[in-house]
């Protein structure tokens, strides 16, 4: 997918070296834009393999407002294994703390929890939050159906009251939906962008959200746009990305969702990727 490779090239060409929270070091540019027309296919990278199962199960976790790491692990998804809420284990780099963070299952008021319970008081992953806070996602679906011309169809994860309760705090912090010419468009905002590992997942996840919202409201799929803030490449990811930008992209796959009723009853196994041709995996280490 050329739009993603263009982001990678921009960081290599215009980025500056900086220190960062993880201590690994980064090359960074102060903002860029990703754009994709969903008519051209589902934007799952083809210059390396991106595991759709992990993208989709994480999104289901978010849509359900789940904050229990074990829910993901039971579905073979380990992308949140290294993280937990600072309410339980204070974030640090030493090996003993990393071990404790990995063992703690409470992720705190994660993205989806804020989508479904914004303004509620977070206690722990076991608490029933039914009816508590603002259910932004339900409100969004209602607005798309009732007032598709609205410019107020936003869902926010960034809650200043909760930013010290999650690590890292809401890298992608909000998204907006618009409807133009019977097509549903989605624009997401991201303050911190890990180009090698995070961005391919973010692109695929919000594309899947666009797909599901379009199915839920009867619109065609339109444009996916990402407004990307601190867009960076970790120094230990440079060689892998240099290899990736040499690869010629394949045509994009499609996705099909079966047995769809509502976005709130959707399961990650309901959506399948069709005709996904890709280059071999490139391994990148997670910067914790």
Residues forming the active site: 171
How far apart are alpha carbons 123 and 142 in whole angstroms?
Answer: 28
Q: Is 81 exposed, middle or buried (0-12, 13-18, 19+ CB in 10 A)?
A: middle
Tokens of 216: 């839920």
Tokens of 74: 């039971």
How far apart are alpha carbons 169 and 165 in whole angstroms?
Answer: 8
Neighbouring residues of 121: CB distance < 8 A, sequence distance ≥ 6: 132
Strands 254-257 and 183-194: unpaired
How far apart are alpha carbons 61 and 72 in whole angstroms?
Answer: 7
């Amino acid at each position: 997918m050329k739009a993603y490779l263009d982001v990678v090239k921009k960081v290599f060409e215009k980025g500056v070296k900086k220190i960062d929270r993880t201590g690994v070091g980064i090359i960074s540019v102060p903002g860029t834009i990703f754009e994709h027309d969903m008519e051209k296919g589902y934007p799952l990278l083809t210059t390396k393999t991106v595991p759709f199962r992990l993208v989709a199960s994480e999104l289901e976790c978010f849509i359900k407002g789940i904050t229990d790491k074990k829910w993901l692990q039971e579905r073979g998804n380990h992308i949140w294994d290294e993280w937990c809420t600072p309410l339980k284990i204070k974030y640090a780099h030493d090996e003993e703390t990393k071990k404790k963070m990995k063992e703690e299952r409470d992720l705190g008021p994660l993205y989806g929890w804020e989508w479904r319970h914004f303004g509620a008081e977070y206690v722990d992953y076991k608490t029933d939050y039914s009816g508590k806070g603002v259910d932004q996602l339900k409100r969004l679906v209602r607005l798309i159906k009732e007032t598709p011309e609205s410019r107020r169809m936003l869902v926010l994860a960034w809650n200043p009251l909760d930013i010290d309760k999650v690590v890292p705090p809401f890298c992608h912090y909000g998204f907006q939906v618009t409807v133009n010419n019977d097509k549903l468009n989605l624009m997401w905002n991201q303050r911190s962008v890990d180009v090698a590992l995070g961005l391919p997942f973010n692109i695929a996840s919000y594309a899947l959200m666009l797909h599901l919202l379009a199915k839920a409201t009867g619109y065609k799929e339109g444009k996916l746009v990402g407004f990307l803030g601190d867009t960076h490449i970790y120094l230990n990811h440079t060689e892998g990305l240099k290899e990736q930008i040499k690869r010629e992209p394949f045509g994009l796959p499609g996705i099909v969702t079966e047995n769809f009723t509502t976005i709130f009853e959707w399961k990650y196994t309901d959506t399948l990727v069709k005709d996904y041709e890709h280059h071999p995996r490139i391994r990148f280490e997670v910067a914790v």
